[in-house]
Structure 1
Amino acid sequence: MKLTLIGNGTMAQSLAKGLVANHEVEIIGRNINKLKEVQKTIPQISIKELDDVEDITGKNILFCVKPYVLQTVSARLSGKANILFSILAGTTLDSLKKHIEAKYYVRTMPNVAASVLKSMTTLTGDEEVKNEALEIFTSIGQTLWLESEKQLDIATAVAGSGPAFLALIAEGLTDGAVRAGLPRDLSSKLVQGLFTGTSTLLETQHPALIKDSVMSPGGTTAVGYGVLEKNGVRNAMMDTIEQTYNKAQELGKK
Protein backbone atom coordinates (compact mmCIF):
# COMPACT_ATOMS: atom_id res chain seq x y z
CA MET A 1 0.00 0.00 0.00
CA LYS A 2 1.21 3.52 -0.78
CA LEU A 3 1.14 5.83 2.22
CA THR A 4 1.50 9.59 2.00
CA LEU A 5 2.79 11.28 5.15
CA ILE A 6 2.02 14.99 5.40
CA GLY A 7 4.61 16.48 7.72
CA ASN A 8 8.29 15.71 8.19
CA GLY A 9 8.87 16.13 11.91
CA THR A 10 10.27 13.64 14.41
CA MET A 11 7.13 11.51 14.56
CA ALA A 12 6.69 11.43 10.79
CA GLN A 13 10.30 10.35 10.36
CA SER A 14 9.96 7.65 13.01
CA LEU A 15 6.88 6.31 11.23
CA ALA A 16 8.55 6.40 7.83
CA LYS A 17 11.59 4.47 9.09
CA GLY A 18 9.32 1.68 10.25
CA LEU A 19 6.80 1.70 7.41
CA VAL A 20 9.23 1.59 4.47
CA ALA A 21 9.93 -2.11 5.10
CA ASN A 22 6.41 -3.06 4.02
CA HIS A 23 4.91 -0.04 2.25
CA GLU A 24 5.64 2.55 -0.40
CA VAL A 25 6.12 5.78 1.56
CA GLU A 26 5.91 9.37 0.35
CA ILE A 27 6.56 12.37 2.60
CA ILE A 28 5.11 15.77 1.75
CA GLY A 29 6.36 18.83 3.62
CA ARG A 30 6.60 22.58 3.35
CA ASN A 31 10.40 22.83 3.20
CA ILE A 32 12.14 20.96 0.39
CA ASN A 33 15.58 21.33 2.00
CA LYS A 34 14.38 19.62 5.18
CA LEU A 35 12.76 16.92 3.07
CA LYS A 36 16.04 16.25 1.28
CA GLU A 37 17.77 15.84 4.64
CA VAL A 38 15.10 13.34 5.69
CA GLN A 39 15.57 11.43 2.44
CA LYS A 40 19.30 11.12 3.16
CA THR A 41 18.37 9.34 6.38
CA ILE A 42 15.60 7.27 4.78
CA PRO A 43 16.58 6.83 1.12
CA GLN A 44 13.69 4.45 0.37
CA ILE A 45 11.09 7.23 0.64
CA SER A 46 9.97 9.67 -2.02
CA ILE A 47 9.60 13.34 -1.15
CA LYS A 48 7.48 16.21 -2.40
CA GLU A 49 7.13 19.85 -1.45
CA LEU A 50 3.59 20.76 -0.43
CA ASP A 51 1.84 22.59 -3.27
CA ASP A 52 -0.36 25.61 -2.68
CA VAL A 53 -3.18 23.30 -3.73
CA GLU A 54 -2.22 19.69 -2.98
CA ASP A 55 -4.51 17.06 -4.49
CA ILE A 56 -5.01 14.12 -2.08
CA THR A 57 -7.70 12.37 -4.10
CA GLY A 58 -7.71 8.62 -3.47
CA LYS A 59 -4.59 8.69 -1.29
CA ASN A 60 -4.06 7.05 2.08
CA ILE A 61 -2.89 9.99 4.16
CA LEU A 62 -0.98 9.93 7.44
CA PHE A 63 -1.50 13.43 8.80
CA CYS A 64 1.57 14.14 10.94
CA VAL A 65 1.59 17.89 11.57
CA LYS A 66 1.22 19.74 14.88
CA PRO A 67 -2.41 20.16 16.01
CA TYR A 68 -2.19 23.96 15.90
CA VAL A 69 -1.42 24.00 12.15
CA LEU A 70 -4.36 21.78 11.17
CA GLN A 71 -6.33 24.66 9.67
CA THR A 72 -3.33 26.18 7.86
CA VAL A 73 -2.18 22.94 6.23
CA SER A 74 -5.63 21.53 5.51
CA ALA A 75 -6.51 24.74 3.61
CA ARG A 76 -3.94 23.65 1.00
CA LEU A 77 -5.41 20.16 0.54
CA SER A 78 -7.96 19.47 -2.16
CA GLY A 79 -9.86 16.42 -3.28
CA LYS A 80 -11.08 13.46 -1.26
CA ALA A 81 -8.59 11.07 0.33
CA ASN A 82 -9.29 7.38 0.68
CA ILE A 83 -8.29 6.99 4.35
CA LEU A 84 -7.11 9.80 6.59
CA PHE A 85 -4.99 8.60 9.49
CA SER A 86 -4.38 11.41 11.96
CA ILE A 87 -1.75 11.37 14.70
CA LEU A 88 -2.76 14.85 15.93
CA ALA A 89 -3.07 14.69 19.72
CA GLY A 90 -6.53 15.61 20.97
CA THR A 91 -7.86 16.50 17.51
CA THR A 92 -11.28 14.89 17.20
CA LEU A 93 -12.71 13.02 14.25
CA ASP A 94 -15.38 15.69 13.88
CA SER A 95 -12.72 18.38 13.66
CA LEU A 96 -10.80 16.41 11.03
CA LYS A 97 -13.97 15.95 8.98
CA LYS A 98 -14.56 19.70 8.97
CA HIS A 99 -11.10 20.42 7.57
CA ILE A 100 -10.15 17.46 5.34
CA GLU A 101 -12.36 15.39 3.06
CA ALA A 102 -11.85 11.63 3.10
CA LYS A 103 -13.85 8.46 2.62
CA TYR A 104 -12.74 7.06 5.97
CA TYR A 105 -11.18 8.53 9.11
CA VAL A 106 -8.95 6.95 11.75
CA ARG A 107 -7.30 8.62 14.72
CA THR A 108 -4.08 6.94 15.77
CA MET A 109 -1.33 7.52 18.31
CA PRO A 110 1.95 5.74 17.62
CA ASN A 111 5.14 6.64 19.48
CA VAL A 112 8.77 7.27 18.53
CA ALA A 113 9.64 3.58 18.96
CA ALA A 114 8.06 3.16 15.51
CA SER A 115 11.53 3.86 14.14
CA VAL A 116 12.75 0.55 15.62
CA LEU A 117 9.48 -1.31 14.94
CA LYS A 118 8.52 -1.26 18.63
CA SER A 119 5.74 1.33 18.72
CA MET A 120 2.72 0.80 20.96
CA THR A 121 0.07 2.26 18.66
CA THR A 122 -3.54 2.92 19.58
CA LEU A 123 -6.29 3.56 17.03
CA THR A 124 -9.99 4.37 16.77
CA GLY A 125 -12.32 5.52 14.03
CA ASP A 126 -14.29 4.03 11.14
CA GLU A 127 -14.73 0.31 11.69
CA GLU A 128 -14.87 -0.29 7.92
CA VAL A 129 -11.10 0.19 7.68
CA LYS A 130 -10.15 -1.29 11.06
CA ASN A 131 -8.36 -4.28 9.53
CA GLU A 132 -6.39 -2.15 7.07
CA ALA A 133 -5.42 0.25 9.84
CA LEU A 134 -4.25 -2.52 12.16
CA GLU A 135 -2.28 -4.17 9.34
CA ILE A 136 -0.43 -0.92 8.55
CA PHE A 137 0.50 -0.09 12.11
CA THR A 138 1.28 -3.65 13.17
CA SER A 139 4.21 -3.36 10.77
CA ILE A 140 5.80 -0.88 13.22
CA GLY A 141 5.01 -2.65 16.49
CA GLN A 142 2.02 -3.55 18.65
CA THR A 143 -1.46 -2.15 18.03
CA LEU A 144 -4.61 -1.69 20.08
CA TRP A 145 -7.98 -0.69 18.60
CA LEU A 146 -9.99 1.34 21.12
CA GLU A 147 -13.72 1.88 21.48
CA SER A 148 -13.79 5.67 21.73
CA GLU A 149 -11.87 8.89 21.26
CA LYS A 150 -11.82 9.36 25.04
CA GLN A 151 -9.95 6.09 25.39
CA LEU A 152 -7.52 7.20 22.68
CA ASP A 153 -6.81 10.46 24.50
CA ILE A 154 -6.04 8.55 27.70
CA ALA A 155 -3.87 6.13 25.73
CA THR A 156 -2.05 9.12 24.21
CA ALA A 157 -0.95 10.12 27.69
CA VAL A 158 0.41 6.62 28.35
CA ALA A 159 1.79 5.23 25.08
CA GLY A 160 2.23 8.43 23.08
CA SER A 161 3.91 10.58 25.71
CA GLY A 162 5.12 7.63 27.78
CA PRO A 163 8.54 7.25 26.15
CA ALA A 164 9.47 10.69 27.49
CA PHE A 165 8.30 9.75 30.99
CA LEU A 166 10.20 6.45 30.97
CA ALA A 167 13.26 8.22 29.57
CA LEU A 168 13.22 10.52 32.61
CA ILE A 169 13.09 7.50 34.94
CA ALA A 170 15.90 5.83 32.99
CA GLU A 171 17.99 8.99 33.22
CA GLY A 172 17.35 9.24 36.95
CA LEU A 173 18.37 5.64 37.57
CA THR A 174 21.52 6.16 35.52
CA ASP A 175 22.42 9.36 37.34
CA GLY A 176 21.79 7.63 40.67
CA ALA A 177 24.26 4.88 39.81
CA VAL A 178 26.81 7.47 38.73
CA ARG A 179 26.35 9.39 41.96
CA ALA A 180 26.92 6.19 43.90
CA GLY A 181 30.21 5.70 42.06
CA LEU A 182 29.57 3.57 38.97
CA PRO A 183 30.99 4.84 35.63
CA ARG A 184 28.33 6.30 33.33
CA ASP A 185 28.87 3.84 30.48
CA LEU A 186 28.31 0.91 32.84
CA SER A 187 25.34 2.65 34.47
CA SER A 188 23.74 3.18 31.06
CA LYS A 189 24.18 -0.46 30.07
CA LEU A 190 22.66 -1.60 33.36
CA VAL A 191 19.57 0.57 32.86
CA GLN A 192 19.16 -0.54 29.25
CA GLY A 193 19.22 -4.17 30.34
CA LEU A 194 16.87 -3.40 33.22
CA PHE A 195 14.23 -1.92 30.92
CA THR A 196 14.53 -4.75 28.40
CA GLY A 197 14.17 -7.47 31.01
CA THR A 198 11.36 -5.78 32.93
CA SER A 199 9.44 -5.17 29.70
CA THR A 200 9.52 -8.89 28.99
CA LEU A 201 8.34 -9.72 32.53
CA LEU A 202 5.42 -7.28 32.16
CA GLU A 203 4.11 -9.31 29.23
CA THR A 204 3.08 -12.10 31.60
CA GLN A 205 3.16 -10.68 35.14
CA HIS A 206 1.29 -7.96 37.01
CA PRO A 207 3.58 -5.12 38.16
CA ALA A 208 2.72 -5.80 41.80
CA LEU A 209 3.86 -9.43 41.47
CA ILE A 210 7.16 -8.34 39.95
CA LYS A 211 7.67 -5.93 42.83
CA ASP A 212 6.82 -8.54 45.44
CA SER A 213 9.19 -11.08 43.88
CA VAL A 214 12.11 -8.65 44.26
CA MET A 215 11.36 -7.02 47.61
CA SER A 216 12.61 -9.10 50.54
CA PRO A 217 11.74 -8.13 54.14
CA GLY A 218 14.18 -5.51 55.41
CA GLY A 219 16.23 -5.75 52.20
CA THR A 220 17.74 -3.22 49.83
CA THR A 221 14.71 -3.13 47.52
CA ALA A 222 12.36 -2.50 50.45
CA VAL A 223 14.45 0.49 51.52
CA GLY A 224 14.56 1.90 47.98
CA TYR A 225 10.86 1.32 47.46
CA GLY A 226 10.14 3.20 50.66
CA VAL A 227 12.09 6.17 49.32
CA LEU A 228 10.03 6.15 46.13
CA GLU A 229 6.76 6.08 48.07
CA LYS A 230 7.98 8.78 50.46
CA ASN A 231 8.70 11.04 47.49
CA GLY A 232 5.33 10.35 45.88
CA VAL A 233 6.56 8.70 42.70
CA ARG A 234 3.40 6.60 42.28
CA ASN A 235 1.13 9.62 42.75
CA ALA A 236 3.32 11.70 40.44
CA MET A 237 2.87 9.11 37.69
CA MET A 238 -0.90 9.09 38.20
CA ASP A 239 -1.06 12.90 38.11
CA THR A 240 1.16 12.92 35.03
CA ILE A 241 -1.25 10.73 33.07
CA GLU A 242 -4.29 12.68 34.26
CA GLN A 243 -2.84 16.08 33.33
CA THR A 244 -1.48 14.82 30.01
CA TYR A 245 -4.92 13.45 29.18
CA ASN A 246 -6.49 16.78 30.16
CA LYS A 247 -4.07 18.55 27.81
CA ALA A 248 -5.12 16.26 24.96
CA GLN A 249 -8.74 17.17 25.56
CA GLU A 250 -7.82 20.87 25.71
CA LEU A 251 -6.10 20.61 22.32
CA GLY A 252 -9.23 19.01 20.90
CA LYS A 253 -11.35 22.00 21.87
CA LYS A 254 -9.17 24.54 20.06
Structure 2
Amino acid sequence: MARIDAKTAGPQLGFIGAGNMARSLVSGLIKNGWQAVQLSLSDPEPTQREAVETVLGVNAYADNNEVAGRADILVLAVKPQILATVARALASTVQRKKPLVISIVAGVRIEDIDQWLGGGLPIVRVMPNTAALIGSGASGMYANNNVNAAMRNQAESILRAVGVTVWLESEDLLDVVTALSGSGPAYFFLVMEALERAAIESGLQPKQARLLTIETAFGAAKMALEGHEEPAQLRRRVTSPGGTTEQAVKVLEDGGIRRLFKNAVQAAIDRAREIADMFGKKP
Protein backbone atom coordinates (compact mmCIF):
# COMPACT_ATOMS: atom_id res chain seq x y z
CA MET A 1 0.00 0.00 0.00
CA ALA A 2 1.34 3.45 -0.88
CA ARG A 3 2.10 5.78 2.01
CA ILE A 4 -0.62 8.30 2.82
CA ASP A 5 0.35 11.99 2.85
CA ALA A 6 0.15 13.15 6.48
CA LYS A 7 -0.52 16.84 5.76
CA THR A 8 -3.36 17.67 8.09
CA ALA A 9 -4.32 20.42 10.50
CA GLY A 10 -5.26 17.95 13.23
CA PRO A 11 -2.99 16.35 15.82
CA GLN A 12 -0.97 13.31 14.86
CA LEU A 13 -1.85 10.23 16.89
CA GLY A 14 0.58 7.32 16.91
CA PHE A 15 0.12 3.80 18.28
CA ILE A 16 2.99 1.61 19.40
CA GLY A 17 1.49 -1.81 18.84
CA ALA A 18 -1.22 -2.76 16.36
CA GLY A 19 -3.13 -5.44 18.23
CA ASN A 20 -6.88 -5.75 18.68
CA MET A 21 -7.27 -2.90 21.16
CA ALA A 22 -5.18 -0.46 19.11
CA ARG A 23 -7.05 -1.32 15.92
CA SER A 24 -10.39 -0.95 17.72
CA LEU A 25 -9.40 2.51 18.92
CA VAL A 26 -8.33 3.53 15.42
CA SER A 27 -11.59 2.24 13.96
CA GLY A 28 -13.59 4.12 16.58
CA LEU A 29 -11.65 7.32 16.00
CA ILE A 30 -12.22 7.19 12.25
CA LYS A 31 -15.95 6.70 12.86
CA ASN A 32 -15.83 9.73 15.15
CA GLY A 33 -14.32 12.01 12.55
CA TRP A 34 -10.56 11.52 12.76
CA GLN A 35 -8.85 11.40 9.38
CA ALA A 36 -6.75 8.39 8.45
CA VAL A 37 -3.82 10.75 7.76
CA GLN A 38 -3.80 11.72 11.43
CA LEU A 39 -3.25 8.14 12.54
CA SER A 40 -0.31 5.75 12.30
CA LEU A 41 0.65 2.49 13.97
CA SER A 42 3.79 0.44 14.38
CA ASP A 43 4.16 -3.28 14.89
CA PRO A 44 6.95 -5.80 14.26
CA GLU A 45 4.51 -8.31 12.74
CA PRO A 46 3.93 -7.87 8.98
CA THR A 47 0.48 -9.44 9.22
CA GLN A 48 -0.60 -6.88 11.80
CA ARG A 49 0.67 -4.02 9.65
CA GLU A 50 -1.05 -5.42 6.58
CA ALA A 51 -4.34 -5.66 8.46
CA VAL A 52 -4.06 -2.03 9.57
CA GLU A 53 -3.34 -0.72 6.09
CA THR A 54 -5.81 -2.94 4.23
CA VAL A 55 -8.78 -2.77 6.59
CA LEU A 56 -8.38 0.66 8.15
CA GLY A 57 -6.50 2.55 5.43
CA VAL A 58 -3.95 3.83 7.95
CA ASN A 59 -0.17 3.84 7.62
CA ALA A 60 1.65 1.13 9.56
CA TYR A 61 5.40 0.87 10.17
CA ALA A 62 7.86 -1.71 11.45
CA ASP A 63 9.93 0.95 13.24
CA ASN A 64 8.39 2.29 16.49
CA ASN A 65 10.48 5.44 16.29
CA GLU A 66 8.99 6.23 12.87
CA VAL A 67 5.61 6.58 14.55
CA ALA A 68 6.84 8.23 17.76
CA GLY A 69 8.77 10.86 15.79
CA ARG A 70 5.61 12.32 14.25
CA ALA A 71 3.14 11.80 17.10
CA ASP A 72 1.63 14.65 19.12
CA ILE A 73 -0.18 11.96 21.10
CA LEU A 74 1.48 8.57 21.54
CA VAL A 75 -0.50 5.51 22.62
CA LEU A 76 1.43 2.61 24.13
CA ALA A 77 -0.42 -0.61 23.27
CA VAL A 78 2.08 -3.43 23.71
CA LYS A 79 2.24 -6.39 26.08
CA PRO A 80 3.30 -5.44 29.64
CA GLN A 81 6.28 -7.78 29.66
CA ILE A 82 7.95 -5.95 26.76
CA LEU A 83 6.97 -2.37 27.62
CA ALA A 84 10.22 -1.55 29.45
CA THR A 85 12.31 -2.59 26.43
CA VAL A 86 10.04 -0.83 23.95
CA ALA A 87 9.88 2.37 26.00
CA ARG A 88 13.63 2.63 26.50
CA ALA A 89 14.16 2.30 22.76
CA LEU A 90 11.73 5.20 22.24
CA ALA A 91 13.13 7.48 24.95
CA SER A 92 15.35 9.74 22.84
CA THR A 93 12.65 10.25 20.20
CA VAL A 94 9.96 10.88 22.79
CA GLN A 95 12.12 13.35 24.70
CA ARG A 96 12.59 15.40 21.54
CA LYS A 97 8.89 15.39 20.67
CA LYS A 98 7.40 15.51 24.22
CA PRO A 99 4.00 14.09 23.20
CA LEU A 100 1.08 13.32 25.43
CA VAL A 101 1.58 9.64 26.26
CA ILE A 102 -1.43 7.38 26.77
CA SER A 103 -0.74 3.89 28.09
CA ILE A 104 -3.33 1.16 27.66
CA VAL A 105 -0.81 -1.43 28.85
CA ALA A 106 -2.31 -3.43 31.70
CA GLY A 107 -0.66 -3.31 35.09
CA VAL A 108 2.30 -0.97 34.50
CA ARG A 109 2.46 2.18 36.64
CA ILE A 110 3.00 5.69 35.30
CA GLU A 111 6.14 6.20 37.40
CA ASP A 112 7.83 3.27 35.66
CA ILE A 113 6.68 4.30 32.18
CA ASP A 114 7.93 7.84 32.72
CA GLN A 115 11.30 6.60 33.92
CA TRP A 116 11.76 4.30 30.91
CA LEU A 117 10.83 7.14 28.53
CA GLY A 118 13.33 9.56 30.06
CA GLY A 119 11.14 11.42 32.55
CA GLY A 120 9.10 14.60 32.75
CA LEU A 121 6.33 13.52 30.36
CA PRO A 122 2.56 14.03 30.47
CA ILE A 123 1.18 10.51 30.84
CA VAL A 124 -2.36 9.18 31.07
CA ARG A 125 -2.79 5.58 32.11
CA VAL A 126 -5.95 3.83 30.96
CA MET A 127 -7.56 0.53 31.88
CA PRO A 128 -9.94 -0.37 29.02
CA ASN A 129 -11.81 -3.64 28.71
CA THR A 130 -12.52 -6.11 25.94
CA ALA A 131 -15.94 -4.62 25.14
CA ALA A 132 -14.01 -1.73 23.58
CA LEU A 133 -13.55 -4.11 20.64
CA ILE A 134 -17.25 -3.60 19.81
CA GLY A 135 -17.45 0.07 20.82
CA SER A 136 -19.02 -0.62 24.23
CA GLY A 137 -15.96 -0.36 26.44
CA ALA A 138 -15.69 0.97 29.98
CA SER A 139 -12.34 2.62 30.75
CA GLY A 140 -10.83 4.01 33.92
CA MET A 141 -8.30 6.85 33.44
CA TYR A 142 -5.64 8.48 35.59
CA ALA A 143 -3.32 11.37 34.67
CA ASN A 144 -0.03 12.46 36.21
CA ASN A 145 0.66 16.07 37.19
CA ASN A 146 2.22 16.91 33.81
CA VAL A 147 -1.13 16.45 32.05
CA ASN A 148 -3.05 19.72 31.64
CA ALA A 149 -6.78 20.19 31.11
CA ALA A 150 -6.50 20.24 27.31
CA MET A 151 -4.54 16.99 27.36
CA ARG A 152 -7.10 15.36 29.64
CA ASN A 153 -9.80 16.33 27.15
CA GLN A 154 -7.76 14.88 24.28
CA ALA A 155 -7.19 11.60 26.10
CA GLU A 156 -10.83 11.30 27.09
CA SER A 157 -12.04 11.99 23.55
CA ILE A 158 -9.80 9.21 22.22
CA LEU A 159 -11.07 6.60 24.68
CA ARG A 160 -14.68 7.72 24.33
CA ALA A 161 -14.45 6.59 20.70
CA VAL A 162 -14.85 3.02 22.01
CA GLY A 163 -17.07 3.48 25.06
CA VAL A 164 -17.52 5.32 28.34
CA THR A 165 -14.73 6.71 30.53
CA VAL A 166 -14.28 7.68 34.17
CA TRP A 167 -11.43 9.73 35.67
CA LEU A 168 -9.90 8.45 38.90
CA GLU A 169 -8.41 10.45 41.77
CA SER A 170 -5.67 7.91 42.51
CA GLU A 171 -3.65 5.59 40.31
CA ASP A 172 -4.21 2.80 42.84
CA LEU A 173 -7.89 2.86 41.90
CA LEU A 174 -6.95 1.55 38.45
CA ASP A 175 -6.42 -1.79 40.16
CA VAL A 176 -10.05 -1.68 41.28
CA VAL A 177 -11.12 -0.77 37.73
CA THR A 178 -9.06 -3.72 36.49
CA ALA A 179 -10.94 -6.00 38.87
CA LEU A 180 -14.33 -4.50 38.00
CA SER A 181 -14.58 -3.59 34.33
CA GLY A 182 -11.29 -5.09 33.13
CA SER A 183 -12.00 -8.58 34.43
CA GLY A 184 -15.74 -8.03 34.73
CA PRO A 185 -16.84 -9.35 31.33
CA ALA A 186 -15.57 -12.78 32.40
CA TYR A 187 -17.77 -12.68 35.51
CA PHE A 188 -20.86 -12.02 33.43
CA PHE A 189 -19.87 -14.68 30.90
CA LEU A 190 -19.54 -17.14 33.79
CA VAL A 191 -23.02 -16.26 35.06
CA MET A 192 -24.40 -16.65 31.54
CA GLU A 193 -22.60 -19.97 31.15
CA ALA A 194 -24.04 -21.25 34.46
CA LEU A 195 -27.58 -20.10 33.63
CA GLU A 196 -27.42 -21.69 30.21
CA ARG A 197 -26.19 -24.98 31.64
CA ALA A 198 -28.91 -24.99 34.31
CA ALA A 199 -31.60 -24.40 31.68
CA ILE A 200 -30.27 -27.22 29.50
CA GLU A 201 -30.19 -29.60 32.45
CA SER A 202 -33.79 -28.62 33.18
CA GLY A 203 -34.93 -29.56 29.69
CA LEU A 204 -34.37 -26.72 27.23
CA GLN A 205 -32.54 -27.32 23.97
CA PRO A 206 -29.00 -25.81 23.92
CA LYS A 207 -29.87 -23.25 21.24
CA GLN A 208 -32.97 -22.20 23.13
CA ALA A 209 -31.07 -21.89 26.40
CA ARG A 210 -28.31 -19.83 24.82
CA LEU A 211 -30.65 -17.43 23.00
CA LEU A 212 -32.79 -16.83 26.08
CA THR A 213 -29.74 -16.40 28.32
CA ILE A 214 -28.05 -13.89 26.04
CA GLU A 215 -31.21 -11.87 25.41
CA THR A 216 -32.02 -11.83 29.13
CA ALA A 217 -28.53 -10.55 29.94
CA PHE A 218 -28.77 -7.93 27.21
CA GLY A 219 -32.21 -6.79 28.34
CA ALA A 220 -31.15 -6.50 31.98
CA ALA A 221 -28.06 -4.48 31.04
CA LYS A 222 -30.14 -2.23 28.77
CA MET A 223 -32.65 -1.58 31.54
CA ALA A 224 -29.85 -0.70 33.97
CA LEU A 225 -28.11 1.53 31.42
CA GLU A 226 -31.14 3.41 30.13
CA GLY A 227 -33.20 3.62 33.31
CA HIS A 228 -32.92 5.99 36.24
CA GLU A 229 -32.94 3.41 39.03
CA GLU A 230 -30.04 1.64 40.67
CA PRO A 231 -29.66 -2.12 40.09
CA ALA A 232 -30.91 -2.94 43.58
CA GLN A 233 -34.22 -1.18 42.88
CA LEU A 234 -34.53 -2.84 39.48
CA ARG A 235 -34.00 -6.20 41.15
CA ARG A 236 -36.71 -5.46 43.72
CA ARG A 237 -39.11 -4.50 40.94
CA VAL A 238 -38.84 -7.91 39.28
CA THR A 239 -38.86 -9.84 42.57
CA SER A 240 -42.52 -10.29 43.47
CA PRO A 241 -43.18 -11.42 47.07
CA GLY A 242 -43.76 -15.16 47.15
CA GLY A 243 -42.92 -15.54 43.48
CA THR A 244 -40.42 -17.59 41.54
CA THR A 245 -37.79 -14.88 41.35
CA GLU A 246 -37.82 -14.41 45.11
CA GLN A 247 -37.12 -18.10 45.63
CA ALA A 248 -34.28 -18.09 43.13
CA VAL A 249 -32.68 -14.95 44.60
CA LYS A 250 -32.95 -16.43 48.10
CA VAL A 251 -30.92 -19.44 46.99
CA LEU A 252 -28.23 -17.16 45.56
CA GLU A 253 -28.16 -14.99 48.69
CA ASP A 254 -28.04 -18.00 51.00
CA GLY A 255 -25.20 -19.37 48.90
CA GLY A 256 -23.12 -16.29 49.61
CA ILE A 257 -23.17 -14.69 46.16
CA ARG A 258 -22.28 -11.24 47.52
CA ARG A 259 -19.35 -12.58 49.50
CA LEU A 260 -18.13 -14.54 46.47
CA PHE A 261 -18.14 -11.44 44.26
CA LYS A 262 -16.41 -9.37 46.95
CA ASN A 263 -13.70 -12.02 47.29
CA ALA A 264 -13.36 -12.35 43.52
CA VAL A 265 -12.90 -8.61 43.04
CA GLN A 266 -10.35 -8.48 45.86
CA ALA A 267 -8.41 -11.38 44.35
CA ALA A 268 -8.25 -9.54 41.03
CA ILE A 269 -7.10 -6.32 42.77
CA ASP A 270 -4.35 -8.22 44.58
CA ARG A 271 -3.18 -9.84 41.37
CA ALA A 272 -3.19 -6.50 39.53
CA ARG A 273 -0.86 -5.08 42.17
CA GLU A 274 1.40 -8.12 41.97
CA ILE A 275 1.64 -7.70 38.19
CA ALA A 276 2.49 -4.01 38.54
CA ASP A 277 5.32 -4.92 40.91
CA MET A 278 6.46 -7.68 38.56
CA PHE A 279 6.73 -5.54 35.43
CA GLY A 280 7.67 -2.24 37.03
CA LYS A 281 10.89 -0.82 38.47
CA LYS A 282 13.09 -2.71 36.06
CA PRO A 283 16.75 -1.62 36.19
**TM-score if structure 2 supplies the norm length?**
0.80
- 1:37 Cα deviation (Å)? 4.1
Structure 2 match to 1:236: 260
Deviation string 1:138-167 (CA, Å, 9 cap, x unpaired) is: 121111111110122211211112112212
Structure 2 match to 1:98: 115
Deviation string 1:73-128 (CA, Å, 9 cap, x unpaired) is: 22332412411111122211111101124741000111122222211111110441
- 1:169 Cα deviation (Å)? 1.5
Question: Aligned pairs, how many?
Answer: 252
Match for 2:212 among 179, 182, 190?
A: 190
Structure 2 match to 1:69: 82
Unaligned runs of 5+ in 2: 1-10, 279-283
The one-letter amino acid of 2:41's match is: I
SS at match of 1:218: coil
* 2:163 is aligned with 1:163: no
Structure 1 match to 2:60: 47
* 2:185 is aligned with 1:173: no
| 1:175/1:219 CA distance change after superposition, 3 Å | same
8 Å contact kept, 2:44–2:62 = yes
| 1:35/1:172 CA distance change after superposition, 3 Å | farther
Q: Distance in 2 between matches of 1:45 and 1:165?
A: 35
- 1:7 Cα deviation (Å)? 1.9
Identity of aligned residues (%): 30
Structure 1 match to 2:235: 211
The one-letter amino acid of 1:17's match is: S
| 1:18/1:188 CA distance change after superposition, 3 Å | farther
Structure 2 match to 1:82: 99
* 2:21 is aligned with 1:8: no
Q: CA RMSD, aligned part only?
A: 2.2
* 2:45 is aligned with 1:31: yes
Unaligned runs of 5+ in 1: none
Q: Distance in 2 between matches of 1:20 and 1:114?
A: 15
The one-letter amino acid of 1:32's match is: P
- 1:240 Cα deviation (Å)? 1.4
8 Å contact kept, 1:57–1:82 = no
SS at match of 1:79: helix
- 1:64 Cα deviation (Å)? 1.2
Q: Distance in 1 between matches of 2:24 and 2:186?
A: 15
The one-letter amino acid of 1:16's match is: V
Q: Distance in 2 between matches of 1:233 and 1:212?
A: 17
Structure 2 match to 1:20: 30
Q: Distance in 1 between matches of 2:26 and 2:206?
A: 32
| 1:58/1:153 CA distance change after superposition, 3 Å | farther
8 Å contact kept, 2:18–2:42 = yes
Q: Which has the larger radius of gyration?
A: 2
- 1:174 Cα deviation (Å)? 2.0
| 1:163/1:44 CA distance change after superposition, 3 Å | farther
Q: Distance in 2 between matches of 1:234 and 1:26?
A: 45
| 1:249/1:56 CA distance change after superposition, 3 Å | same
- 1:63 Cα deviation (Å)? 0.9
